[in-house]
Amino acid sequence: MNKNRLLPFLISAVALAVLPLLLQGVGEAWVRIVDTALLYILLALGLNIVVGFAGLLDLGYIAFYAVGAYLFALLGSPHLSENIPALAALFPQGLHTPIWLAIPLGAGVAALAGVLLGAPTLKLRGDYLAIVTLGFGEIIRVFMNNLDAPINITNGPKGINSIDAIHVGGMSLGEPWHVLGLTLPPVTLHYYLFLAVVVVAVVMCLRLHDSRLGRAWMAIREDEIAAKAMGLNTRNLKLLAFGLGASFGGVAGVLFASFQGFVSPESFSLQESVMVVAMVVLGGLGHIPGVILGAFLLAALPEVLRHVAGPLQAMTGGRLDAAILRQLLVALAMIGIMLLRPRGLWPSPRHEDRLMPDDTAGGRA
Amino acid sequence: MSSPLLTVSGVSKRFGGVQALSDVALHISAGQIHGLIGPNGAGKTTFFNVITGLVPSDQGRFELAGSPYKPSAVHKVAQAGIARTFQNIRLFADMSALDNVRVGRHVRTKVGWWQALLRTKAFTHEEGTITRDAQALLDFVGLSGKAHQAAHTLSYGDQRRLEIARALATEPKLLALDEPAAGMNATEKLQLRELIERIRAQGKAVLLIEHDVKLVMGLCDQVTVLDQGKRIAHGLPADVQCDPGVITAYLGSCKPTH
């Protein structure tokens, strides 16, 4: 890293480290909003690999979030041993999967699910792909909703609770820590963990983007036939995009399950999938800073609007429901952004923006 | 005089009721420029697509550099050593010229995604090689200064040349060009001709579909003529030019055909 980038880097690192400490003074609810936003950033980064890099519109991405969340819910709660006696005999203490095992496992299982769901869709493009992935996303949710009989695996719509908190070095993130005279509540501890995971995810995305593989994905996005004619095995490359993208969702799911301590199918509705797609598109398809911005705005915006909606509701004598108003404002914001900035809030810099000064053959209209 | 590079014979293809190709044969020798001409609708592009795996043929035997290949999947044909360009340019429009060529290097490089994630030595080394090779190819086709421009901002002639550079990046034994001079002005055609000759000088064979008879006759070592899905003539350009069947195909006959 060169010198003139080091200073902004250090400033933002310090700002990100201090942020929750300031916010927790105002109220822990604010830190919780940021935590949720970080999880959404992780989801958006993963979906960006599929939609932004490889150009495969996936409307069922939340399924991999569900896979990760349920994986940790099953491996980190008493639910399974309560319902399967054989398992209870095997693990008399109950299943308590440590996080260093759960994260790779969540990534792996979600990646496998991504490849399995991706495989039948390989020949589909655009709208058709979107419809099929949408269906797959719903199938996973319906499974979670109904796998409570004959053997109770997911506990159906009631969901699974008492999920373990994450332990780091034998210390639980579910209890406040006391460090250097500061009290760090669980939301702040989770903030640091999520931030670390997001930073790792960002580095991974940047490295994938600037690699042989990233260029191959973009070639598929730009022109699949030409990509094939260049010898690219588009089948394997697409499956890799589905798998790697899904693994981010799986990790986010594991973190979500332990953060909430509870999972139920309604957290993984179609609306959530659409929301994550909106984050990627709104921020700037394929451009990592843009995707982060989009995810942060769309995740935080409803919470901020919640505070704005209260007074408005009071003004209209309760006729304006807060939830409806939030949806309306989000919709208006999206329409506005699409009209004014059709390539997203922060799109990748286009190449013609930096034309060589000696170029004379620039503009083929 | 030179070894056969591509030997294709007995190629037939039917689209519903249309017999697009019937029993077409083609022999290309190493280091030669081979022209494929014929009137509109003769089946040139279909034949081209069959050879490059884009369209499956009903019948046909295919041999590249002495070993049979099956044009069943497009990417395998490119791996086997046939690279192509497209009649209607198909560049990766939003990517830079350099990246377009770097994608072409994909098939001859092999560092995996985990090495990209870990930024291993092998990855850094291969990336350097890919970029150098791609830049050298841009220099070769005369696009040195335009490496960082998006492909769709280049002029028409430059886009054609970039497509050739991208195809060359796959290290083909045979470069197949589908109407590379279409829409070019006289100067650009001259540059194209000179470029194709330089490609031949490197020992690569070139298959050229072209409407511009002057270009084909001046450039090609061998010519094959298709009409209505059949091969009606092949041989040296001068011989083909005087072939009565070819003249009839292009100009029509003055007698009623039945």
Predicted confidence (pLDDT) per residue in B47-64, tens digit: 999 999 989 899 999 999
For the cut 60, the answer to whether the pLDDT of residue A293 exceeds it is yes
For the cut 50, the answer to whether the pLDDT of residue A169 exceeds it is yes
**Do A234 and B75 count as a contact with CB atoms less than 8 A apart?**
yes
Q: Is residue A322 very low, low, confident or very high in pLDDT (cuts 50, 70, 90)?
A: low
| Residue A81 pLDDT | 82
- Split into its structural domains, chain A has a count of 1
Predicted confidence (pLDDT) per residue in A99-147, tens digit: 889 999 999 999 999 999 999 998 888 889 999 999 999 999 999 999 9
B4: left (phi over 0), alpha (psi -120 to 50) or beta: beta
For the cut 60, the answer to whether the pLDDT of residue A355 exceeds it is no
Which residues does chain A have within 8 Å of residue B146's beta carbon, measured at their own beta carbons?
A: 356, 359, 361
Task: Enumerate residues 6+ apart whose C-beta is below 8 A from A94.
Answer: A77, A78, A81, A88
List the one residue out of A350, A348, A353, A225 whose CA is nearest residue A291.
A348
State chain A's mean pLDDT as an integer.
87
Residue position matching structure tokens 């002057």 = B214
What is the rounded average pLDDT of the residues B150-164?
93
SS3 B108: helix
| Residue A284 pLDDT | 87
| Residue B256 pLDDT | 60
For the cut 60, the answer to whether the pLDDT of residue A357 exceeds it is no
Q: Touching check for A237 and chain B: CB below 8 Å?
A: no
What is the rounded average pLDDT of the residues B144-173?
94
For the cut 70, the answer to whether the pLDDT of residue A214 exceeds it is yes
| Residue B62 pLDDT | 92
Which residues does chain B have within 8 Å of residue A228's beta carbon, measured at their own beta carbons?
A: 73-75, 78
User: Residue A103 corresponds to which amino acid?
Assistant: I
Q: Which chain A residue lies closest to B131 (C-alpha atoms)?
A: A212
| Residue B194 pLDDT | 94
Is residue A249, in this structure, part of any structural domain at all?
yes
**Shortest alpha-carbon distance between residue B1 and chain A (Å):** 31
Range of the domain at A250: 27-266
Is residue A288, in this structure, part of any structural domain at all?
no
Q: Is residue A2 very low, low, confident or very high in pLDDT (cuts 50, 70, 90)?
A: low
Is residue A143, in this structure, part of any structural domain at all?
yes
A149 or A209, greater pLDDT: A209
| % of chain B with per-residue pLDDT over 70 | 97
What is the rounded average pLDDT of the residues B216-241?
90
B194: left (phi over 0), alpha (psi -120 to 50) or beta: alpha
Is residue A277, in this structure, part of any structural domain at all?
no
SS3 sequence, chain A? Answer: CCHHHHHHHHHHHHHHHHHHHHHHHHCHHHHHHHHHHHHHHHHHHHHHHHHHHCCCCCCCCHHHHHHHHHHHHHHCCCHHHHHCHHHHHHCCCCCCCCHHHHHHHHHHHHHHHHHHHHHHHCCCCHHHHHHHHHHHHHHHHHHHHHCCCCCCCCCHHHCECCCCCCEECCEECCCCEEECCEEECHHHHHHHHHHHHHHHHHHHHHHHHCCHHHHHHHHHHHCHHHHHHCCCCHHHHHHHHHHHHHHHHHHHHHHHHHHHCCECHHHHCHHHHHHHHHHHHHHCCCCHHHHHHHHHHHHHHHHHHHHHHHHHHHHCCCCCCHHHHHHHHHHHHHHHHHHHCCCCCCCCCCHHHHCCCCCCCCCCC
Which residues does chain A have within 8 Å of residue B170's beta carbon, measured at their own beta carbons?
A: 230-231
Q: Are B106 and A215 in contact (CB under 8 A)?
A: yes
Our measurement of the distance from residue A195's CA atom to the centroid of its chain's CA atoms, rounded to an integer in Å, reads 13
Q: Is residue B1 very low, low, confident or very high in pLDDT (cuts 50, 70, 90)?
A: very low
Query: Which of A222, A356, A364 is closest, CB to CB, to B146?
Result: A356
Residue B149: C-alpha distances to residues A244, A344, A351 (Å): 30, 21, 5
User: Residue A341 corresponds to which amino acid?
Assistant: R
State the DSSP code for B60.
Answer: E
For the cut 80, the answer to whether the pLDDT of residue A19 exceeds it is yes
Strand order in the sheet with B33-37: B82-84, B174-178, B205-209, B33-37, B222-227, B230-235
Is residue A62, in this structure, part of any structural domain at all?
yes
Is residue A360, in this structure, part of any structural domain at all?
no
Q: Is residue A364 very low, low, confident or very high in pLDDT (cuts 50, 70, 90)?
A: very low
**Shortest alpha-carbon distance between residue A90 and chain B (Å):** 36
| Residue A289 pLDDT | 94
Is residue A180, in this structure, part of any structural domain at all?
yes
Q: Which chain A residue lies closest to B123 (C-alpha atoms)?
A: A211
Predicted confidence (pLDDT) per residue in A246-284, tens digit: 999 999 999 999 999 999 999 999 988 988 998 998 888
**Shortest alpha-carbon distance between residue A202 and chain B (Å):** 11
Top-confidence range, A104-118, A139-153, A174-188, B3-17: A104-118
What is the rounded average pLDDT of the residues B192-196?
94
Which residues does chain B have within 8 Å of residue A1's beta carbon, measured at their own beta carbons?
A: none
Q: Is the ipTM of this complex over 0.85?
A: yes
| % of chain A with per-residue pLDDT over 90 | 53
CA atoms within 13 A of residue A208's CA, in its CB half-sphere: 26
Predicted confidence (pLDDT) per residue in A299-310, tens digit: 887 777 777 777
| Residue A143 pLDDT | 92
Asked which of A8-22, A123-137, A326-340 is least confident by mean pLDDT, the reply is: A326-340
| Residue A234 pLDDT | 94
| Residue A1 pLDDT | 53
Predicted confidence (pLDDT) per residue in A31-52, tens digit: 999 999 999 999 999 999 999 9
Is residue A299, in this structure, part of any structural domain at all?
no
Count of all residues that appear for chain B in the document: 258
